[in-house]
Structure 1
Amino acid sequence: MKAAIVRDAGHTPVFGDFPEPPLSAGQNRVTVTAAAMSHLAKSRALGTHYSSSARFPFIAGIDGVGRLDDGKRVYFVLPQPPYGSMAERVVASSAHCIALPDDIDDLTAAAIANPGMSSWAALTERAKLKAGETVLINGATGTSGRLAVQIAEHLGAKKVIATGRNADALRAVSALGADVTISLVAGDLEERLEEQFAAGVDVVIDYLWGQSAESLLIAGAKAGADAVPIRFVQIGASSGPNIVLPSAALRSSAIELMGSGIGSIPLDRLLKAAAGVLEATVPRAFQVAFTPVPLSEVEHAWRNDDSMRRTVFTMGVHPS
């Protein structure tokens, strides 16, 4: 069968032939129609993600959409290694497959499930968001961040604050429901953050880490006891893997610092979050930008991936 094959750590996946996956008890064979590129899939191919395996070669991709042998449409995650989702067929545990709602098409489902799941799970499982609370999305201009703004509003946030570097992208985020936007490159950044935290921020969803996360944590600490306790949920690290945080920032404030992802949330709960996103996408008109690309063009698309639009690989089967 055809697949996107990672031959060694750090190598771009190549389009080629790979043996068919064997089917065992408790597993489903899925004929894949669509699989999106993700930060996790790219990090695993580089060998830098904490869940990466040292086994090569393997097929890239961690999730996708397809059909079971009985024709049922499903979203699936974490196929049996060394088989990833970017292949004509995969084998996945029955517990790793969820039925797709009838009103969502394959490409949209593949594009939205993973980035939508990241904020849905962070808000519901880790932050325990309550209706009427204020949410700040740090890094709201990428695909995941834009979805986080929409999902926070859907889950009951009274006020959504969005940060980012790109001015045009921040204006677009306002149109998606952000009540306040803050430029991370503005000269008055510290002032504006302190103003928002003083008014009360209940939850921070952080996709960036690095310097901006330091600024947020320090601004939250400066707001001190007069502000509400802050649940700071760390999801991504596109601005850097480490921060320097003064110990006083934690001692002088009611900040709860936690992560969200594979390992911090049981897989069944992550899948429940994905199901929530998929069920709400059409009724709530969630917007996600994506570009369909034939799997045969994986090398070119991998090198030219754009964080503003998801790349969704199609497997030669016409998606509904």
Structure 2
Amino acid sequence: MKAAVVTQAGRMPVYAGFDAPVATAGYALIDVEASALSHVTRARASGSHYSSSGRFPFVAGVDGVGRREDGTRVYFFGPREPSGALAQRTLVAEGQCFAIPDTLDSVTAAAIAIPGMSSWAALTERAKFVAGETVLVNGATGASGRVAVQIAKHLGAGKVIATGRHPQTLAGLKSVGADCVIRLDQDEPSLHRALEPHFREGVDVVLDYLWGPSAQTLLTGAARLLPDGYPMRFVQIGSIGGETLALLGAVLRASAITLLGSGIGSIPFERLLHAASEVLRAAVPARFEIATRAVPLSELAVHWENDGNRSRTVFTMHP
């Protein structure tokens, strides 16, 4: 079969032949239809992700959509190594795949599953979000942040605030549920002034896709402006804005801010899968939108470096 084969750490996968997996007790053989190029997929392929095993060769790809041998169309996550999602066929534990709605096409399901799972789980599992609360999405102009805005509104957020650096994309977020948008590409005093009225009213949950300087600005501003004792939950999801930040201890001592992380390792795996299931069930009736570019797996070398920030590259396995 054809697959995206990783031969060593730090080297881009190649489109090549790989032995097809065989039926194994407790596992489902899946004919893959679509698999998205996620940050996790790229990081694991490079060997830099904390969940990388370090064993080579293997097939890249952590999740996707395909059909079981009985024809049931399923979403799957975490194929058994050396199998991966970026292949014509993969092998997945029975408990790590579930049927998806007939009304949801495979490319959209593959594109929205991980970003949707990340925000749904961050809100429901980590932040213990309650309908009516105010949610701020930091880094909402990326594909994942845009989905987060939609999910927060779908789950009943009373107000959704979106931040980002791409003015046109930021303005467009109002059409998918953002009540207020704030540009991050302004000087520090102006950014603080833009955030001030929202913090003074109370922000309940921050979904942070950036970390780095913007997260530092949000945390310091919240500590100064939130009403005394206001229990804001700051959930760290992604770090494309910087891997570190310098945070004074006084920021936490002077506020009721709770810092949380959300991702593989911070949430039980079965709860992550449950979040993905909820997203895919809601995608059509809630009219979730995600910018997607579908390309054949044979064009792997051309599209592997796409950063997937504002649109999701989805590889299809069959012409």
TM-score by length of 2: 0.97
CA contact (8 A) 1:60 1:86 kept: yes
Secondary structure class of the residue paired with 2:16: strand
CA contact (8 A) 2:64 2:75 kept: yes
CA contact (8 A) 1:224 1:252 kept: no
CA contact (8 A) 1:200 1:227 kept: no
Q: Distance in 2 between matches of 1:99 and 1:171?
A: 35
Q: Distance in 1 between matches of 2:260 and 2:311?
A: 28
Partner residue in 1 for 2:314: 312
- CA shift, 1:129, in A, is 0.7
| Alignment map for 1:42-57 (pairs within 5 Å) | 42-57=42-57
Q: Distance in 1 between matches of 2:166 and 2:9?
A: 32
- The amino acid across from 2:169 in the alignment is A
May I ask how many residue pairs the two structures share in their alignment? 317
Partner residue in 2 for 1:107: 107
Q: Distance in 2 between matches of 1:173 and 1:10?
A: 36
Q: Distance in 1 between matches of 2:73 and 2:178?
A: 33
- CA shift, 1:23, in A, is 2.6
Q: Distance in 2 between matches of 1:230 and 1:201?
A: 6
Q: For residues 41-76 of structure 1, give each alpha carbon's deviation from its aligned partner in whole angstroms, at most 9, with x where no partner exists.
A: 111112111111211221111000000000001000
- The amino acid across from 1:70 in the alignment is D
| Alignment map for 1:144-159 (pairs within 5 Å) | 144-159=144-159
Q: For residues 292-316 of structure 1, give each alpha carbon's deviation from its aligned partner in whole angstroms, at most 9, with x where no partner exists.
A: 1000001110123441110110001
Partner residue in 1 for 2:286: 284
Counterpart selection for 1:192 from 184, 191, 194:
194
| Alignment map for 1:135-284 (pairs within 5 Å) | 135-187=135-187, 188-226=190-228, 228-284=230-286
Secondary structure class of the residue paired with 1:303: coil
Q: Distance in 2 between matches of 1:24 and 1:65?
A: 20
Partner residue in 1 for 2:64: 64
Consecutive unaligned residues of structure 2, counting only runs of 5 or more, are: none
- The amino acid across from 2:290 in the alignment is V
Q: Distance in 2 between matches of 1:268 and 1:19?
A: 29
CA contact (8 A) 2:76 2:96 kept: yes
Q: For residues 119-177 of structure 1, give each alpha carbon's deviation from its aligned partner in whole angstroms, at most 9, with x where no partner exists.
A: 00000001111011000000000111000000000001000000001111101112211
Q: Distance in 1 between matches of 2:307 and 2:138?
A: 21
CA contact (8 A) 1:126 1:233 kept: yes
Partner residue in 2 for 1:82: 82
Q: Compute the RMSD of aligned alpha carbons.
A: 1.1
TM-score by length of 1: 0.97
CA contact (8 A) 1:198 1:227 kept: no
Q: Distance in 2 between matches of 1:21 and 1:241?
A: 37
Give aligned-pair identity as a percent. Answer: 56
CA contact (8 A) 2:228 2:255 kept: no
Secondary structure class of the residue paired with 1:137: strand
Partner residue in 2 for 1:133: 133
Q: Distance in 2 between matches of 1:98 and 1:223?
A: 44
- CA shift, 1:14, in A, is 0.9
